[in-house]
Structure 1
Amino acid sequence: MSPQPAPCTWALTHKSMPTLLCSCNHTMPIDADAVGDALRESAAAIDAPGKTHHLLCRREIGAFTQALNGSEDVIVACTQEKALFAEVAAQHQGVTAPIHFVNVRETGGWSAGARRDARGFRAKTAALLAVAGLPAPDPVPVVDYRSDGHVLIVGPAERAMPWAERLADQLSVTVLVTGRDRAKGPLVPSMERRWPVHAGELQEVKGWLGTFEVQWRNRNPIDLDRCTRCNACIDVCPEGAIDALYQIDLDACRDHRACVKACGDAMAIDFSRVDAPQALSGQFDLIFDLNDAPAFAQHQPPQGYFHAGADAGSQLTASLALLQMVGEFEKPKFFQYKESICAHGRNGQVGCDACVQVCSASAIASQWKDGRGSVHVTPNLCVGCGACTTACPTGAITYAYPSAPYQGRKLKTLLSTYASAGGRDAVVLLHNGGRGRTLIEQLGRAARIDKAQGVPVNVLPVEVFHAASTGLDLWFAALAYGAARIAILLTEDDAPQYRAMLAEQVAVAQAVLQGLGEPADEAGVVLIDVADAAALDTRLGCADVSGPLRGLRRDMPAATFAVAAAKRETLDFALDHLARHAQATDAVIPLPAGAPFGAITVNRESCTLCMACVGACPSQALRDQAERPVLAMIERNCVQCGLCETTCPESAIALVPRLNLSAEARQSVTLNEAQPFHCIRCNKPFGTAQMVTTMLAKLGAHPAFSGAAAERLKMCSDCRVIDMMQHGERPGAPH
């Protein structure tokens, strides 16, 4: 029998907060009394709105300042005028309570559905307000950066030199000229030496904000840092091979070396660099990359690195960002890692490397010690997308800010409030705070002028740091809490590896739900991949996203468990709840390859019961017995990492991705067993007859075990050594 989780009692201990609702000049059908009733029905831990405001940010601003006089946090249902409210609060005398802002306007208040379904919009508003009243996530360790503004501008001279001129007054500039962009015509740089200038081919860039290490190779005979810009070399070059940027055209140069003589004591020209380029390096806080190809190949480059290429708009945007990157900075350490349950590698074999493959910032690397593999995450490179935590089958990497339990409380509060207030068919729309939020806001504004339907009343937007940061555990938990569907919003700026990983996770979720009896055309988890607000409007209006629920969860009671810090524990709670209310009778659900649930099959004819698979299993799904040769499995523990399959010397193991919901999955089930083989010398059991037969076949040709010496293979390891010491090459008689 599975353990029963305790219900979440967090909301009972949370303090109430004053709430301010505004219709935004009568453009939304907001009724504060009705929303207040909905909040009271849901037992949400915030105060019901006292009245409906219509111009809270203008003539009714006094209601806002009055709310600041209390000791509790204040909830303002407006994000349009967040800056104004913050400014008023800053000027407020006395202690100012923290302010929580929530967007009910673009997320549904301006939609066509809000005008048609007042009750649904009321329930949605109450749910969004209840979530806004949640406290901030618990603090976590931070990652520090320090930048003194030393920027390397790298690229063709015609691009790099003008930007050096513009930025030199605000930043400490160094220029690395990587060539010429002759399409832009001749360039005459400033003759005043204001910053170091190097020329060369970029070799390697690594690091992050404040700690970049750059290596380049200099093939230019003229050392631009030594050069005095006297132009004597230009005057004497008979081929005109030296330009105003002091780059020598080696194809035109005929080796007169008149330039070397003219340079004289400055000693800035050395042609030996042509055949033996100098390897140079430097350390910088920031990098402004104007080359056509970026120095970093990954989708998410390190913080402090800005690639703009030849595009003038991108160059301007990057330059403004550079100016803001001077000082001391910090960000949360977004992840926690528990090596003991990591399935990355055992016995020198790689098992699961999902986190390494999905990381768009190249922040995760494999590391090995004594044959055991683990992963190392560089906190300064991590961008907090959370894709690694979603892909991890064991929960070895977890999202720390915000944590899974916090996200679970958020989803539970949202869905329970919505349902208590009379809402139906709730769709949780997970989106990030960048492009995802922008598309939702654009959609809301289009709906205001009847250019779109807007966000449907039953679609509840939930902003996360990144859409890739949630996975099967939170999706199934939300479905158990009463969500009709989970929709994950992807946009054009999402990394391709995120798309692939989320598509695989969604396929697993859909297979599980269909195995529980959900109709094939009613997916409980869907991906929404759009590039603009119009496409989002169309997709949200489809029946498979916002249509009424028809399947197994239509009348399912909401679960009471709380999301746990351990991923597999949450999955157990959620799947058990869904299974208890399922229509399907088959307890074993086939899943697609790569699913984090499953069993293995063992070819008993090939298996020698060497137990290498048991030693490799990171989740204790495979077990042996000290008394006799038995290979057993607890299927619910299996994460399908494949280490048993790759470790098996006889290739006797195959993975079987499936979800076994029966009680047997939690019990130890024997996969293979045999009678022990007893040592012919001391009679101690030390293996199986099949293992000894296999050793005889494989080692019979070895000099130490050939002929009569093969009898030693029938001895335990201790007796084998004793026999070799007593009898040398001739085995002794069995005792």
Structure 2
Amino acid sequence: MTTEFKVCNCNRTMPLDAQAGAQMAQALGADAPLTMHSELCRREVTSYMQALDGVDDVVVACTQERSLFGEIAQQKNSVAPLRFVNIRETGGWGAQAKNSVPKMAALLAAAALPDPDPVPTVDYQSGGHALLIGPADRVLPWATRLGEQLDVSVLLTASETGEMLQEHSFPVFSGNRIAINGWLGAFTVQWQQANPIDLEACTRCNACVDVCPENAIDLTYQIDLSKCKSHRDCVKACGTIGAIDFSRSAAQRSAEFDLIFDLSDTPVLTLHQPPQGYFAPGSDTQQQMTDSLRITQMVGEFSKPKFFLYKEKLCAHGRNGKVGCTACIDVCSAEAVSHNGDQIKVTPNLCVGCGACTTVCPSGALAYAYPRIADTGTRLKTMLTTYVKAGGTQPALLIHNQEQGAGLVNQLGRLAKANGKLKGLPANVIPLELHHIASVGIDFWLTAVAYGTTHISILVTQQDAPQYVAALNAQIDIAQTILSGLGYTGVHLSLIQAHTPAQLDTGLSTMQAAQVPQQRALFNIAADKRSALELAIDHLKKHAPQQVEQIALPAGAPFGLVTVNKQSCTLCMSCVGACPESALTDNANLPQLRFIEKNCVQCGLCEKTCPENAISLTPRLSLTEAVKQPVVLNEAQPFHCISCNKPFGTAQMIENMVSKLSLHGAFAGNVDRLKMCPDCRVVDMMANKHEAVITDLKRR
């Protein structure tokens, strides 16, 4: 199946002519000729409609009129796969637009790639039962408005004299100490009913208001306890309705809801990535309007991709109750990753698909699934290969997310064209749009450098959580240390923190080409993180300007050495049982502790498990073949059973046991049993027991 490319220079505002089209077509190797247009969405739309008549893929180099092109395809009942790519704001509308043809070809090639394979989905079901939380003056008006489209309930956190409860058209509660758990369609809310008046039992008869001598009850029917003098006239007036109870201790209440509209000054949930279905506009009236429209659309059945894969066997989180690596738990801004015994647990309904957990995971136990790293790697390799074929040099990447990042890139391109004060994306900077910037890490970055990428900038916006930024900085430090240690000069990785197009423009202007291998790598990025790192590092090492045997790495790096204090180590092998990566192993024939550095992810489980505190970790990258071979960290001559002479344990271990247990009551007079193998120990115990029985019988 071929691909037909429809490229438009947008009414001749981009330096694209027939010659540029031929240059791109040659780089793309398109079977069907690449067609250049000036008014594809207007005067030349017939050409587009003809392309839809077949079954071949159609790539339209215009996102400005995506809706129009999509509507035309729908009206024609076209079956041709249709894709769109933006070459205008990303290349054709910058100060270096004339030199951006190779980049445009690269973007076209990436757009022509097939969609990633489908992955399992995470499903939500919302019936529209919404809880509004906050002060009465803010919540009650919104409850009336939203009640026309949603099944609303209200939880008042404070009363205001300017508002009043009227007819009982929706459930109303009051309380404090609110806790929210769950997600769209499955929220559980807990609170404490602290006020003497139960609003669900109250009939709004105003009897309590009339009789209160302190005017402590307003028309939200809540008692201001700072004014109340405990006359209890209100209780008598309420009578058999029984809505007022001063003797009630703070009662814990809970209920389930599909949606949460939190109008509190301080949101109940302060997560940077709150669960889907939770909206917290607070007192911001404009945000209230925006969120009210969004919440009314969240009724029905919804689904999203399951963004992660979890390989439990590779997880270095915990063993035998000891906790090692917590990187994924620490970085998750949605609190979707939690502790679950010796393994972590990821709640897919809370996962927002940022991928930060997969980036910081040292072992690859967590992997990004949609798209897979292999799919993103194919996209990268395709772009860079096409870029070079089209005559491009010193390619660089700008990694950005789909929302605010893409918005800033588009705004920058428009402003660069409109006023000329901003330069726009440089000709060699290829934008790589991801669901989230934190979904790729050192395996992807080092592969990109191996492919010939001279600089990688990651665009950070207000959308990105602080822990993501910290994690990316830490990962960049590791990757840059490796590259610099191999002798590659320059800065290969950087963050651009920008909230405005001008800030992005300034950040792009600081990007400088760093040194890369003279020969570009040809391998495809591996799906497994450790394999991908090995391939990338091997290529970078092979072509490195400086040949070294090892590189010292920052703390938290996923490579390193395990060191054992031989004087303290008893060869109990607790560390071997704790190691999740088979980096530490024993020897079936000899009391030996062996280490394979290639397998070590520096999780620290061995260090925390060792009862003698004999283990320490040293982060480093060893570049010799020795990392693949087992190295003996400690060994000893086996201790032989004093009864049968069978070897078991080590002399040091037995010596330690004897010194620590000889005074214990259970071993008093039987210390020699500690020097016996398990079989002889049982025989000796039974023999002594038999002898004791015979002695007892003789006495009788």
TM-score (norm 1): 0.91
Question: Quick one: distance in 1 between partners of 2:513 and 2:204?
Answer: 75
1:65 corresponding residue in structure 2: 49
Q: Would the aligned equivalents of 2:155 and 2:172 in 1 still touch at CA under 8 Å?
A: yes
AA in 2 matched with 1:512? I
**Alignment of structure 1 residues 103-502 onto 2, 5 Å:** 103-115=86-98, 117=99, 121-180=100-159, 182=160, 186-189=162-165, 191-273=166-248, 276-368=249-341, 373-448=342-417, 449-502=419-472
Q: Give the 3 Å change call, closer, same or farther, for CA 217–688 of structure 1 in structure 2.
A: same
Relative to structure 1, is the Cα distance of residues 730 and 479 closer, same or farther in structure 2, using a 3 angstrom cutoff?
Answer: farther
Q: CA deviation at 1:167?
A: 0.9
Query: Aligned residue for 1:637?
Result: 599
Cα distance, 1:36 vs. partner?
3.7
Q: What residue number does 2:67 align with?
A: 83
AA in 2 matched with 1:445: R
Q: Determine the structure 1 residue equivalent to 2:499.
A: 531
Mapped to 2, the partners of 1:485 and 1:513 lie a distance apart of 12
Separation (CA, whole Å) in 2 of partners of 1:253 and 1:263? 16
For 1:254, give the aligned amino acid.
Answer: K
Whole-angstrom CA distance in 1 between matches of 2:626 and 2:28: 39
The aligned residue for residue 696 of structure 2 is none
Match of 2:34 in 1: 49
Task: Name the structure 2 match of 1:586.
Answer: 548
**Whole-Å separation in 1 of the counterparts to 2:680 and 2:21:** 82
Contact 1:19 1:46 in 2 (8 A): no
1:722 alignment partner in structure 2:
683
Q: Is 677-686 or 215-224 further displaced after alignment?
A: 215-224
Tell me the distance in 1 between the aligned counterparts of 2:595 and 2:18: 57
- How far off its partner does 1:730 sit? 11
Match of 1:3 in 2: none
Please report how far the alpha carbon of residue 202 of structure 1 lies from its aligned counterpart in structure 2 after TM superposition: 4.0
Aligned partners of 1:536, 1:86: CA distance in 2, in Å? 31
| 2:576 corresponds to 1:614 | yes
Structure 2, unpaired ranges of 5+: 693-700
Which of residues 621, 636, 649 in structure 1 aligns to 2:611? 649
Q: Offset of 1:728 from its aligned partner? A: 5.9
Residue of structure 2 in register with 1:605 after alignment: 567
Verify the 8 A CA contact 1:346 1:616 in the aligned structure 2.
yes
Please state how far the C-alpha of 1:279 moved relative to its aligned partner.
Answer: 2.0
Superposed displacement of residue 32, structure 1: 4.7
Greater Cα shift, 506-515 or 212-221: 212-221
Write the distance in 2 (CA, Å) between the matches of 1:608 and 1:40. 67
Distance apart, 1:227 and its partner CA: 2.0
Question: Secondary structure at 2:3's aligned position in 1?
Answer: coil
Counterpart residue number, 2:698:
none
Match of 1:5 in 2: none
Q: CA-to-partner distance for each residue in 1:388-436, whole Å, 9 max, x for gaps?
A: 1111111111111111111111111011111111111111211100111
CA-to-partner distance for each residue in 1:277-332, whole Å, 9 max, x for gaps? 22222111100001112112321111000011111122111111111111110000
Which residue type is aligned with residue 162 of structure 2? P
- Matched with 1:22 is 8
Match of 1:37 among 19, 23, 41: 23
Q: Does the 8 A contact of 2:455 with 2:513 survive in 1?
A: no
SS at structure 2 position matched to 1:401? coil
Corresponding residue for residue 8 of structure 1: none
Equivalent AA in structure 1 for residue 89 of structure 2: E
Deviations 1:620-672 (A, max 9, x none): 11121111011111111111111111111111111111111111111112222
Kindly state the Cα deviation for residue 729 of structure 1 after the two structures are TM-superposed.
Answer: 13
Does structure 2 conserve the Cα–Cα contact (< 8 Å) formed by 1:704 and 1:729? no
CA distance in 1: counterparts of 2:57 and 2:38, whole angstroms:
22
Q: Which amino acid aligns with 2:420?
A: D
Distance 1:47 1:217 in 2: 69
Q: 1:228 to 1:91 in 2, by over 3 A?
A: same
How far does the alpha carbon of each residue in 1:162-192 deviate from its partner, in whole angstroms, 9 at most, with x for none? 1011111111111111113x5xx62244x22
Mapped pair 1:503 → 2:478: no
Find the aligned partners of 1:670 and 1:208 in 2 and give their Cα distance. 51
**Which stretch has the larger CA shift, 15-24 or 714-723?**
714-723
Query: Which whole-Å CA distance do the structure 2 matches of 1:27 and 1:320 have between them?
Result: 37
Paired residue type of 1:134: L
Unmatched 5+ stretches in structure 1: 1-14
Helix, strand or coil at the partner of 2:432: strand
Q: Distance in 2 between matches of 1:724 and 1:470?
A: 61
Task: Report Cα offsets for 1:568-625 as digits up to 9, x if no partner.
Answer: 1111111111111012121211111110011111111221111111111111111211
Q: Aligned residue for 1:577?
A: 539
Question: Residue in 2 aligned with 1:12?
Answer: none
How far residue 219 of structure 1 moved from its aligned partner, in angstroms, is 2.0
State the distance in 1 between where 2:42 and 2:516 align: 49
Let me know the Cα RMSD of the aligned residues: 1.8
**In the alignment, is the contact (CA less than 8 A) between 2:58 and 2:80 conserved in 1?**
yes
On the 8 A contact 2:450/2:516 being kept in 1, the answer is no
Aligned 8 A contact 1:424 1:458 in 2: yes
The alpha carbon displacement at 1:535 in A equals 1.3
Identity within the alignment, %:
55
Question: 1:59: Cα distance to partner?
Answer: 1.6
Deviations along 1:85-132, whole A, 9 cap, x unmatched? Answer: 11222222x4342221111111121110113x2xxx111010000000
- Partners of 1:395 and 1:506 in 2: CA distance: 18
Structure 1 Cα separation of the partners of residues 599 and 451 of structure 2: 24
- 1:157–1:179 contact (8 Å) kept in structure 2: yes
1:101 aligns with 2:74: no
- Are 1:75 and 1:102, in contact at CA under 8 Å, matched by a contact in 2? yes
Deviates more, 1:505-514 or 1:53-62: 53-62
Residue pair 1:35, 1:48 contacting (<8 A) in 2 also:
no
Secondary structure of the residue aligned to 1:216 is: strand
Which amino acid is 1:523 matched to?
Answer: V
Alpha-carbon distance between aligned partners in 1 of 2:690 and 2:357, rounded to the nearest angstrom: 56
Corresponding residue SS for 2:96:
helix
Secondary structure of the corresponding residue to residue 18 of structure 1: strand
Which among 629, 634, 641 is matched to residue 679 of structure 1? Answer: 641
Task: Give the Cα separation in 1 of the matches to 2:678 and 2:292.
Answer: 70
SS in structure 2 opposite 1:95?
coil
Task: Give distance in 2, aligned partners of 1:46 and 1:242.
Answer: 80
Work out whether residues 37 and 48 of structure 1, in 8 Å CA contact, stay in contact via their aligned partners in 2: no
* Amino acid in the other structure paired with 1:246: Y
